[in-house]
Amino acid sequence: MKIGRVGVLGAGLMGSGIAEVCAKMGYETVIREVSDDLAKKGVSRIKGSMGKAVEKGKLEAGPRHAARSTLSTTTRLEDLAGCDLVIEAIVENLDAKKEAFSILDRACAPHAIFCSNTSSLTITEISAATGRPDRFAGLHFFNPVPVMKLVEVVRTIATSEATEKTVFDFATSLGKHPIRAHDNSGFVVNRLLVPYLLDAVRALEEGVGTREDIDKGMELGCGHPMGPLRLLDFVGLDTTYAIAEIMFNEYREKRFAPPPLLKRMVLAGRYGKKSGRGFYEYGEGR
């Protein structure tokens, strides 16, 4: 199946990155956000990221201009009706995702394929909100989307072989390296990464080291580009808390349980880089 028009639900950290890579590869891309302000914020994040890519010599000014002209935004879910593929990247909440997909299921053409970028929910439970589980798959990108090469392609027991192939080929067409993952909470990467990140918060709680020493330890000792506490700030503590709750409910294993400190930080509005404060502070002069 040929994909021409792509819909992206959500223009937060992930949705804006996904829309950026789709537009850069020439797909006509329409982003749906809940308000014009949030849509504008998403577009300005895309402009900033493309500007950085130009600065780094990864993107030329001509293709940047072309990418911008293939991008549009809307606040109406129904405006995604003409899309061949819709990629959902909204908050990590099952009810919100199901509600959006059930509306889209009625609005979109029967051939359209739906994908979720969920970090921890199963694709099966999200696709149950639609009448097209055979045309529903997981397409899990990594943050920052324009830079990270991996995409996990997830096929459920109901996903058709043709849908999996179309989604896999689509990911490849974006310049990504797809891997196949079974439809288990956290797929491959988060199954391994999330317990590590949560353990870093427990280590901080228990006084194993300072935030700087925990991060430096993993950067210099293991060659990670970012220590776990800075990576948590980067992913978003609100999103990580939702992921941990979902994975803990699924597996009932302590390693997935959200540490109390993570919960308190989310309750205090310290979501990480996106809110200006998490384990570290962000913004001018910090």
Catalytic amino acids?
Answer: 119, 140, 152, 190
Number of residues interacting with ligand CAA: please give it, by CB under 6 A. Answer: 18
**DSSP assignments along 241-276, one per residue:** HHHHHHHHHHH--GGGSPPHHHHHHHHTT--BGGGT
**Span interacting with ligand NAD, options 60-68, 116-124, 151-159, 162-170, rule CB under 6 A:** 116-124
Output 61 or 198, the one with its CB closest to ligand NAD.
198
**Span interacting with ligand NAD, options 44-52, 128-136, 139-147, 254-262, rule CB under 6 A:** 139-147
Output 10 or 278, the one with its CB closest to ligand NAD.
10
Residues 6+ apart with CB under 8 A from 84: 1, 2, 3, 4, 5, 6, 109, 111, 112, 113
Look at strands 85-88 and 150-154 and give their pairing.
unpaired
What tokens does 151 get? 């995409």
One residue of 146, 228, 258, 278 binding ligand CAA per CB under 6 A: 146
What tokens does 91 get? 């908050």
Q: Is 92 in the site for ligand NAD (CB under 6 A)?
A: yes
Using CB under 6 A as the binding rule, the residues of this chain from 78 to 117 that contact ligand CAA are none
φ, ψ of residue 160 in degrees (nearest 5): -75, 160
What is the C-alpha to C-alpha distance for residues 56 and 118, in angstroms, rounded to an integer?
30
Tell me the closest approach of the beta carbon of residue 172 to ligand CAA, in angstroms.
17
**Which x/- pattern, by CB under 6 A, does the window 214-243 give for ligand CAA?**
-----------xx----x---x--------
One residue of 25, 34, 38, 52 binding ligand CAA per CB under 6 A: 52
φ, ψ of residue 68 in degrees (nearest 5): -60, -35
